[in-house]
Structure 1
Amino acid sequence: MQLDPASGWCQDVELCPSPNFNARPTDEVSLLVIHNISLPPAQFATRKVQAFFQNRLDVTEHPYFAGIADLRVSAHFLIERDGRVTQFVSCLERAWHAGVSNFEGRETCNDFSVGIELEGTDDLPFTDAQYHALTALTRQLQSAFPAITPQRICGHSDIAPGRKTDPGPAFDWARFRADLAQEEGQ
């Protein structure tokens, strides 16, 4: 996986462009937000997240889908349970992943962040393949956008407390941070 800083797109990942993005107000990319998602909830490898981020979700396929039918959202990346990475929006553009949010007193985190969705739920452990892919992708992002320091990597719950809970208690922050630190030291 290689991120092209000039285009904001990764090579060697699945590209699944979403219409749910717009221009950033500045060129700043200084925050990484980690989320989780599964559609339907707690069901994996359905490819429904891809359809959802492309506004192509068939709302008749599952009762849960009716409640999200009118949402227009996206993330920059999705990491599936097997570690496969899909990119929806160039990192140079503003994906619609954070919603009402605040990081260190600054609102509207979509303006300056990259969003990575992990296929999962708050309370089911994530896979080794996901941690490996997340670490590799984060290193690529930090190389392209040096302002994304370890202190500027957070969960959705950190920037939207009380409204969002992801990536949830099942996400192993200590493992992820140790994996990042190990790669830095190599």
Structure 2
Amino acid sequence: MPSLIVLHYTAMNSAQAALHRLCDPAYEVSAHYLIGADGTLWQMVDEKDRAWHAGAGSWHGQTDINSRSIGIELDNTGKHPFPEPQLTVLDRLLTQTMARWSISPHRVIGHSDMAPGRKIDPGPRFPWQRLEYLNLAGQRGRNNDPQCASMRTFRTLVENAGFPPDVDDETLLAAVRLRYRPWANGPLAPADFVPLASKDR
């Protein structure tokens, strides 16, 4: 039974090219859904069946993400904003899928969340705050006064949030920023702790 939803972008030039790739057994990659830039929705794998979309990684210590997740591909190269027709369909699909399988908002993640350093999709242009506002993704924290801005504390908070701990500090910081502060750069800063404040997961 699926307990996670993993969001991806296709990194291809068109939805048709992505559809061809996802349906060709030679490529050994698949996903449950593909949403075109114009809002067209394709279902390629039944939700109760395994799709090959996640690869190596983990979330909250659980591995074999393919066996426990629903994969949604978004037609996007990663270099441009996600259009409103596509996001409207994603909102509806997430609402329906989360209800069907009793998946909580904190179990809707990006490919980059579960595979830091290996994957960067759905990328820095993905509107996570839109999903948070609609309760379709976990709410970020609002702690504006972190007491101890050390890397050790950061790693503890990040692991509690679900991110895999078995990567180096720089890779982990980049993955968390990709989700919460994609414009940020430089060394670990107090602002990096704000979205990781303790909250129900």
Using structure 2 for the length normalisation, give the TM-score.
0.64
Segments of 5+ residues of structure 2 without an aligned counterpart are 137-201
1:54 aligned to 2:23? yes
Root mean square deviation, CA, Å: 1.4
User: SS in structure 2 opposite 1:117?
Assistant: strand
| Residue 44 (structure 1) shift | 2.5
8 Å Cα contact 1:121/1:167 also seen in 2? no
The structure that has the greater radius of gyration is 2
Matched residues in 2 for 1:149 and 1:121: separation?
Answer: 28
The structural deviation recorded for 1:55 is: 1.2
Which has more helix, going by share of residues? Answer: 2
Give the count of matched residue pairs: 136
Identify the match of residue 9 of structure 2 among 26, 30, 36.
36
The equivalent of 2:122 in structure 1 is 167
Name the stretch that deviates more: 161-170 or 30-39.
30-39
C-alpha distance in 2 between matches for 1:180 and 1:137 = 13
Render the CA deviation track for 1:76-126: whole Å, top value 9, x for unaligned: 000000011100100000000000020111111011100000000223100
Identity of aligned residues (%): 40
User: Would you say 1:85 and 2:41 are equivalent positions?
Assistant: yes
Structure 1: unaligned runs, 5 residues or longer: 1-27, 57-69, 182-186
Q: Higher RCO, 1 or 2 (CA under 8 Å, sep at least 6)? A: 1
Find 2:110's aligned residue among 135, 155, 163. 155
Query: Does residue 137 in structure 1 map to residue 93 in structure 2?
Result: yes
Q: Which runs of 4+ in 1 moved over 6 A?
A: none
Query: Contact 1:34–1:118 (CA<8 Å) still a contact in 2?
Result: yes
